[in-house]
């Protein structure tokens, strides 16, 4: 299955960006899927996970942030990133009318989605999904980046590796506990921030991608059924 390419306006100041829509014939839910800070919507992780979600009936709408579209390595100001999230959600909602809509992303893409949602709820979005929430910089454990999550009005699903250097689970666990029942945490044993696992773990990166897709599907089913 090949994704459909399209463009939309990220913000008035930054112009149009690219997007990829992958919708299986049996789609029953849709995810607006933002990329991480260092890699765009065509990164192998984004592509592979979108394909696995599609095989489970979940449509994805991947999109570029303006700086990545322009070939820059420096992320846009937060206001531009959040405006891009909001416009991506609006476009995806039009494309996926009739399907329960979720939003989130990999690392920064997820965090910018939660910041946008906390500032002003994302219309039609049932819940947020974070693939590796970047709780803090490498080597500087803290939970300040999670403060805004108290203002997110919809359920949140955190998928986090035990070797993730950007999210100390001893900090993220209590954050999710404090946000319960709106927040759920799925721990991926042995995975780092990119969801890679060591060979000695006895698992492969492909196994982890399947786990992420299965866990996401199960959580969405629970939220949709509820």
Selection from 80, 84, 83, 96 nearest residue 21 by Cα: 96
* Assessment of whether the complete model's pTM goes beyond 0.85: yes
Amino acid 138: pLDDT = 94
Beta-sheet strand order (sheet of 101-106):
4-11, 15-22, 58-63, 29-34, 101-106, 125-131, 156-161, 183-188
Per-residue pLDDT at 84: 98
How far apart (Å, rounded) are the C-alpha atoms in residues 96 and 100?
Answer: 8
- In 23-57, the DSSP E strands lie at 29-34
The reported pLDDT for the residue numbered 226 is 55
Domain containing 130 equals 4-225
β-pairing verdict for 156-161 and 125-131: parallel
pLDDT below 70 — which residues of the chain? Answer: 225-226
Number of compact structural domains in the chain: 1
The confidence score (pLDDT) of residue 13 equals 87
CATH of the domain at 179: 3.40.50.1820
Say which DSSP state 189 is in: T
Q: How far apart are CA 170 and CA 204, in angstroms?
A: 25
pLDDT score for 225: 67
pLDDT value for 221: 95
């Amino acid at each position: 299955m090949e994704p459909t390419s399209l463009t939309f306006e990220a913000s008035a100041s930054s112009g149009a960006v690219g997007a990829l829509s992958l919708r299986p014939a049996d789609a029953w839910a849709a995810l607006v899927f933002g990329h991480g800070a260092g890699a765009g919507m065509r990164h192998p992780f984004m592509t592979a996970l979108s394909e696995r979600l599609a095989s489970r009936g979940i449509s994805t709408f991947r999109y570029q942030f303006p700086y990545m579209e322009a070939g820059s390595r420096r992320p846009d100001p937060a206001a531009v990133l959040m405006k891009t999230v909001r416009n991506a959600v609006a476009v995806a909602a039009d494309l996926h009318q009739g399907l329960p809509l979720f939003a989130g992303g990999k690392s920064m893409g997820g965090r910018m989605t939660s910041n946008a949602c906390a500032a002003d709820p994302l219309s039609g979005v049932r819940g947020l999904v974070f693939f590796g929430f970047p709780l803090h910089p490498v080597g500087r454990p803290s939970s300040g980046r999670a403060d805004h999550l108290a203002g997110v009005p919809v359920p949140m699903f955190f998928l986090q590796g035990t070797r993730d250097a950007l999210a100390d689970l001893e900090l993220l666990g209590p954050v999710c506990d404090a946000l319960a029942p709106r927040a759920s945490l799925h721990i991926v044993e042995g995975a780092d921030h990119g969801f890679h696992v060591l060979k000695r773990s006895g698992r492969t990166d492909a196994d982890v991608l399947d786990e992420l897709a299965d866990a996401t599907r199960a959580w969405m089913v629970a939220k949709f059924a509820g």
